[in-house]
Amino acid sequence: MGRTDTSAPVRRRLGRPRRDGSTVDGPVPDVIVKAAAKLFTEQGYAATTMTQIARAAGLQQSSLYYWFSRKEQILQAALSVNRLALTHTSVVAAGDGAPGLKLFRLLRYDTLQLCLSPWDFTEIEQLAQAQPDDFADF
């Protein structure tokens, strides 16, 4: 007759191991996009590599490629998060005022968002012009 082990069961982590041994805080794609956005802001999109993004997200590079096969896909995911100007357009269009006033409100809001954004939209616009198929939504 063997002894019964009363210790707590061993918890196994699901998924692939992270480089730093930590657990994922939220959905993996969101963690990747957040890490990439920080790097894009700090050093620019062009200077950021997939290796740096994987490291910043605490992932093996192969795990990063499981979720995003190209850096452009990560940028598109990051840009799609910030669609406030589109929402504001609907609000302004439904509101009161002459068309010129509505246009002024929209342009003011959009300009403010661009100025407050950590992104260098000039770099992103150049990339979109060079790769129109990849950035059709942008």
Measured over the CA atoms of residue 65, residue 68, residue 73 and residue 79, the dihedral's sign is negative
> The pTM is what?
0.59
Give me the pLDDT at residue 81, please.
60
**Residue 9 φ/ψ region, left for φ over 0, alpha for ψ in the -120 to 50 degree band, beta for the rest:** beta
Give me the pLDDT at residue 32, please.
94
Domain with residues 24-81, CATH architecture? Orthogonal Bundle (1.10)
Task: List per-residue pLDDT tens for the chain, 138 residues long.
Answer: 555 555 555 444 444 555 556 555 678 998 999 899 889 888 888 899 999 999 999 999 999 999 999 998 998 888 776 566 677 788 888 888 999 999 998 888 888 877 777 666 777 777 778 878 877 776
- Domain parsing of the chain, residue ranges: 24-81, 83-130
What burial class does residue 2 get, using C-beta atoms within 10 Å of its C-beta: 0-12 exposed, 13-18 middle, 19+ buried? exposed
Closest among 55, 59, 39 to 47, alpha carbons compared: 39
Give me the pLDDT at residue 10, please.
47
Rounded Cα–Cα distance for residues 57 and 18 (Å): 9
Helix extents (H) in 17-120:
28-43, 50-57, 61-67, 71-81, 84-94, 99-116
Euclidean distance between the first and the last CA atom of the chain, given in angstroms as a whole number: 69
Give me the pLDDT at residue 31, please.
92
Give me the pLDDT at residue 57, please.
94
Give me the pLDDT at residue 132, please.
82
